[in-house]
Amino acid sequence: MKALRAARSLSSSYPPRLLARLYSAQPQQRHDDSDESHHQNNTDSVFDSAQFSIPETPGSAPQVQQPTWDVLHRQRVERLVFNEDFHADKFSQEEEEGRRRILAKALLEAALEGPEEDAENDREVKEEDQKSLSVGIIGAPNAGKSALTNFMVGTKVAAVSRKTNTTTHEVLGVMTRGDTQICFFDTPGLMLNSSGYLHKDMKVRVESAWSSVDLYDALIVIFDVHRHLTRPDSRVIRLIKRMGAEANSKQKRILCMNKVDLVEKKKDLLKVAEQFKDLPGYERVFMISGLKGSGVGDLTKYLMEQAAVKRPWDEDPLTMSEEVMKNISLEVVRERLLDHVHQEIPYGIEHCLVDWKELRDGSLRIEQHFITNKLSQRKILVGKNGSKIGRIGIEANEELRSIFKRDVHLMLQVRLKT
């Protein structure tokens, strides 16, 4: 049905609608020439994607392939797109190839649309009919906040890593369905210390996240239920109980038991739910897997139907602005940094966007710098003969091409702070 609906849309020249808009609250663009003395001629510290061959599709070869779908299905699509029945013998090879491209585009757009209910988004919603909701997502470090944000929005907006404190600033993901728009704020990991007071992180950004807790229409408190069952953390329990201690008439609070896919005995989940059932501050408790999507549909339905309020949308659902794309590029590179550089080193590295250009052919040139405080950190990040920074750059470049649907020329440079 999605393919047929996309075909109808294509035949009427209706522009495809961008359903997910992403925004990162604190752009980190920086222009800093303080490291010129260390730039030297050492090319190992620089990754330039132009020096690497990145194929369009792995293992692909330029050849004409025959359609693999059922003939009856293709005839139906042909009638919708071209208003005629399909007869292979009445077209030249060139004409047939052109028709295949049109049909392939229709099927691709259908695949990118998402669930069937997204058909509602093809209609324009009047301002007086719009509903909005701002949702803050808080929890202990590594509870799965970023994974949940990415899944609900439908594409990557926040770096996801096994390392704690991956998120360094608030990240906003926007989901627009039908007449409802939900803005998700993924925040740095929050924690209470042993005395029950707010843990004062060395970085001001975590304290800033605490100060914004009451600003959202709804608040999702998320925790790793698998870890809670195997290695319970008293600080996490204190966080959950503090946020659920009393009802807030101005804010709906939801408790999410995350990573349920890792729990073998499902009855254990009921025991955890029983443990927190008497907290008056939580309107609902959901069992979810932010990474795989289990239970996220029920959470989304609740937010749209029970929490959203009549209010004009805050964001344009049709546009991915340049600022949005800049911040996505930072998040993607940061995730690869966390994947390949271990221990405490990633947290002591300053990561900034230095240059961003859209070239005449539609491709993007992105330059980002990593600034380290120690020469030893710089050597680790660069790797032998530039192997480490090269691996980070290749993987990030490929993912950015996939997200932006265009060629990306990514440049990464490792510099020593002076």
Q: Indicate if 210 and 327 belong to the same structural domain.
A: no
The DSSP-derived string for 210-274 is HHTGGGSSEEEEEEEHHHHHHS--HHHHHHHHHHTSS--TT-EEEEEEE-GGG-S-THHHHHHHH
Residue 215 inside a domain? The answer is yes
Contact 156, 173 (CB under 8 A): no
Q: Indicate if 288 and 359 belong to the same structural domain.
A: no
Q: Indicate if 146 and 251 belong to the same structural domain.
A: yes
Tell me which residue of 285, 228, 233, 279 sits closest to 255, measured CA to CA. 285
C-alpha dist (Å) from residue 412 to 35, 44, 159, 365: 14, 11, 17, 11
Going by pLDDT thresholds of 50, 70 and 90, the confidence category of residue 76 is low
Q: Dig out the tokens for 409 from the structure.
A: 């020329």
pTM across the whole model: 0.58
Region 243-254 average pLDDT: 91
Q: Indicate if 391 and 301 belong to the same structural domain.
A: no
Which pLDDT belongs to residue 312?
Answer: 92
Q: Indicate if 151 and 214 belong to the same structural domain.
A: yes
Residue 43 inside a domain? The answer is no
Q: CATH number, domain at 333?
A: 3.30.300.20
Q: Indicate if 381 and 257 belong to the same structural domain.
A: no
Residue 313 inside a domain? The answer is no
3-state SS, residue 335: helix
- Find the helix or strand (DSSP H, E) in which 302 lies: helix 296-302
Q: Indicate if 279 and 376 belong to the same structural domain.
A: no
pLDDT digits (tens, 9 = 90+) for 328-353: 888 889 888 888 887 666 677 889 99
Which pLDDT belongs to residue 363?
Answer: 93
Q: Indicate if 274 and 399 belong to the same structural domain.
A: no
Contact 174, 183 (CB under 8 A): yes
Q: Indicate if 302 and 340 belong to the same structural domain.
A: no
Higher per-residue confidence, 326 vs 16: 326
Q: Indicate if 287 and 186 belong to the same structural domain.
A: yes
d(CA 95, CA 83) in angstroms, rounded, equals 16
Higher per-residue confidence, 300 vs 196: 300
Last residue of a domain, one of 241, 274, 306: 306
Q: Does residue 227 have a pLDDT over 90? A: yes
Q: Indicate if 148 and 272 belong to the same structural domain.
A: yes
Residue range(s) defining the domain that contains residue 408: 322-416
Please count the structural domains in the chain.
Answer: 2
Q: CATH number, domain at 301?
A: 3.40.50.300
Beta-ladder partners of 369 = 352, 413
Q: Beta strands 171-177 and 180-186: pairing type?
A: antiparallel
Residue 87 inside a domain? The answer is no
Last residue of a domain, one of 273, 306, 339: 306
Ramachandran quadrant class, 83 (left: phi over 0; alpha: psi -120 to 50; beta: rest):
left
**Buried/exposed 132-164: b ≥16 CB within 10 Å, e otherwise:** bbbbbbbbbbbbbbbbbbbbbbbbbbbbbbebe
pLDDT digits (tens, 9 = 90+) for 13-54: 433 333 344 433 344 444 444 444 444 446 667 877 777 655
Which pLDDT belongs to residue 257?
Answer: 96
Contacts of 225 (CB under 8 A, 6+ apart): 257, 258, 259, 260, 263, 269, 272, 287
The alpha carbon of 54 is separated from its chain's Cα centroid by a whole number of angstroms, namely 23
Going by pLDDT thresholds of 50, 70 and 90, the confidence category of residue 157 is low
Q: Indicate if 169 and 280 belong to the same structural domain.
A: yes
Going by pLDDT thresholds of 50, 70 and 90, the confidence category of residue 75 is low
